[in-house]
Structure 1
Amino acid sequence: MTAKISIVIPAKNEAHGLQSLLPAIGAICPEAEVVVIDDGSHDETVAICRQNNVRVISHPHSLGNGAAVKTGARAAQGAIMLFMDADGQHQPQDIPRLLEKLNAGYDMVVGARGNGSQAGMHRSLANGFYNRLATWMVGHKVADLTSGFRAVRAEKFRKFLYLLPNGFSYPTTITMGFFRAGYPVAYVPIHAPKRIGKSHLRIARDGVRFLLIIFRVGTLYSPLKIFFPISLLFMLLGLGNYLHSFLTIHRFTNMSALLFIASILIFLIGLVSEQITSLNYRDSER
């Protein structure tokens, strides 16, 4: 591990986590650049960073986890960037394993959490569904779609900054972006202990955001893989309705016509979305 590595840590009111995390990082990666992005904290986050002699960049108010990651990516000077959370769930002892895997020829390596690392049954079920959906979309095993613990090659990561959202779903976006661009991605199993402090996620608010991950997965990689099955379903419903109405009243009903039209429109929307998605990745595929 050399100075070409930058460790980027987004933090919002994570003084307790940083108090133990930063010394541990210093012991394991003494030559790495550590950049903490203070996302509008109201606790001692900045003071803890200065006590540990790490670089800290403060947002004037909270802009979101994804926005903090983008700020860190722009400021980091290393050829390799490693992103991790400040809440104690990502352990510095796993950093050498991610970097070793990255050096094996990958462009991004993700720390994949096991079932025992998920915070609650609802989170485990949701992440399991996201992983299976993403695996189907990209044709490769996606062990953890939403993990924020990852090592990447900085030059390639920055190509996707304009796609990254400011909220919590940035890991989904960057993962699908790398797969779409044909960059090799690997997963290293990790154990994530219970976080230190209070989570910033809210079931009611962020549950909707996580549902949107499903649509983001589709639109970022191959929209037709989402739209075509839906279009086919409406077509089959239209055929079924037409067959039933023909056998019972010998007529072609308005409902059958509506289902057929919906099928065609959904397919065309998916086709246009596919072309727009290809334009999004034009620069990264050059």
Structure 2
Amino acid sequence: MIEPTAPNNVYGKSQQESPPSIDISVVVPVFNEADNVESLCQEIVAAMTTTKRPFEVLFVDDASTDGSAARLAGGRVAAPLRILKHRHNCGQSAAVATGFRHARGAWVATLDGDGQNDPNDLPRLLAHLLATGADGVTGVRTVRRDNWLKRISSRVGNGFRNRVTGDRISDSGCGIRIVGRACLAEVPVFNGMHRFLPTLLRGQGFRVEELPVNHRPRLHGLSKYGLHDRLWRGLRDYLGVRWYLARAVPAVRVEPTEGHP
């Protein structure tokens, strides 16, 4: 599913190399976002540098046709950057899952590649996790910078989703969140997974909290989702997630023994 990328600005050119010590990996799924990726990467680096913690940025290009990966690989962005590229377009959930699999940080952050999530929220989310001991934190877009159709479909989808799953997530479509990498080991991968990640983690026994975050208008490009993707397909997914929650096995299930963690 993944194509090898050119060695320019890519961490870990060989799997035999010892990876650097990394606290947090920032995963960004992109599809045809060539006009957004460079400025977004620069914003992520500026925000994460303020944490004074070692980090990496992983852009997962879901087989873009507009040269999104080439814009990043050109070497114009000074960043601890890795670029992963899908051989075929697989969808946002697959891109997020690819980022999870290849992340090396103890914490894994995600944000959308369209620039509407604000990277300046990442340090605050990370600080909240470290202070509270939660397993994850997800953003809530208190002021939406989307058109009326997206706002209405999200409101209807969130309400129906909470009724079906029994969970209470204010904004399941918000792409900015941070989760402990160890918590992601048993998350099932399916189309639509990224929208249900907080609920899936809670179903496995993890504590996921919510914090308000900034939301910005899209400056370049077009949204990849319409009413069918956001609402009707999501309704089918809700039933599948409800089944999964009823059958989920707790991820933390081994009792520590003396002398071992």
TM-score category (smaller protein): 0.7 to 0.9
What is the letter of the counterpart of residue 222 of structure 2? Answer: K
Match for residue 164 of structure 1 among 175, 189, 200: 189
| 1:40 corresponding residue in structure 2 | 63
Q: Secondary structure at the match of 1:159?
A: coil
Matched, 1:148 2:175: yes
Match for residue 10 of structure 1 among 23, 29, 44: 29
Higher relative contact order (CA 8 A, sep 6+): 2
Give the TM-score taking structure 2 as reference length: 0.77
Q: Secondary structure at the match of 1:35?
A: strand
| 1:97 corresponding residue in structure 2 | 124
Cα deviation, 1:132-187, whole Å, max 9, x if unaligned, reads 34445666642112222110001111211xx221x3x2233322211212211111
* Equivalence map 1:172-191=2 (5 Å): 172-191=195-214
* Equivalence map 1:26-65=2 (5 Å): 26-30=45-49, 31-50=54-73, 51=75, 52=77, 53=79, 54-65=81-92
Return the index of the structure with the highest Cα Rg.
1
Q: Secondary structure at the match of 1:87?
A: coil
Bigger fraction of residues in helix: 1
What is the letter of the counterpart of residue 29 of structure 2? Answer: P
Change (3 A) 1:105 1:213: same
Cα deviation, 1:188-221, whole Å, max 9, x if unaligned, reads 1112112231111133455431232432443333
Change (3 A) 1:218 1:138: closer
* Aligned-residue CA RMSD (Å): 2.2
Q: Secondary structure at the match of 1:178?
A: helix
| 1:112 corresponding residue in structure 2 | 140
Q: 1:41, 1:172 → 2: CA distance? A: 21
Unaligned runs of 5+ in 2: 1-20, 254-261
Matched, 1:193 2:216: yes
- Offset of residue 285 of structure 1: 4.7
Q: Secondary structure at the match of 2:113?
A: coil
Aligned length: 223
Give the TM-score taking structure 1 as reference length: 0.71
Matched, 1:282 2:223: no
Change (3 A) 1:283 1:12: same
Unaligned runs of 5+ in 1: 222-276
Matched, 1:215 2:239: yes
- Offset of residue 126 of structure 1: 2.8
